[in-house]
Structure 1
Amino acid sequence: MSAILRKGVGPVLSTSVEYHGFVYLAGMTADDLSQDVSGQTQQVLNKIDAALEEHGTDKTRLLQAQVWLKDIRDRDALNKLWTAWLPANGAPVRACVEANMADPRHLVEIMVTACR
């Protein structure tokens, strides 16, 4: 049986799970909630980079992304940073929807799956 590696294990969720060379990250949100959607998005992308690196992979190995925006009208601002962050010809499959956030100060949340 293959091992399941969990990091950041808490009572409700793990921040990441690795199994059979696949890395699943929990939804990432910004730490500085005083920033606008662009500032929060950049924070989240930086956190994704760091979390993937912990598992020995990076954004060139992204398979899937799920994006939640507090206001779907912020999609263009998100996409400007998202497309600059992605490697050339390396976009994963993605969904982007408007959602009520657990904390109304959160403007964006991103969850990704990658492989090693």
Structure 2
Amino acid sequence: MKLQSFKHYSDQLETVAHDAWITARVKSALALGEPTLGLQIHVKTFAGTVALSGRVNTHKQCEQAVALARTVPGVVEIDARELLTHVFTPGSVPTPPNAEENMESRAQSSEKPDDK
């Protein structure tokens, strides 16, 4: 029974070590490909699947990050759903991260006053 437990533990340890190695290689590939990508993108690996997250300036940088991650040996799949660009959707109102006014006061201030 202990031998099976040790084998299971060693398999998990091997997977964790391999994932850490892949994460380091992907971060290196991003930093060498374009230095700003290495700083803007967070990388996590689980069982060979690399998850990229963070914010980049353009869609081209997003595509470049995915392409660079694909070049790393051992990468099985890439999940870039959390990799966002600074592009805003039409009709949305971008707010600064520490905005003092809330959305209610903004909605009230945008209404037209009644002419009496």
TM-score (norm 1): 0.36
Which is bigger in relative contact order (C-alpha 8 A, separation at least 6)?
A: 1
- State which structure, 1 or 2, has the greater radius of gyration over its C-alpha atoms: 2
Larger strand proportion of the pair = 1
TM-score (norm 2): 0.36
Larger helix proportion of the pair = 2
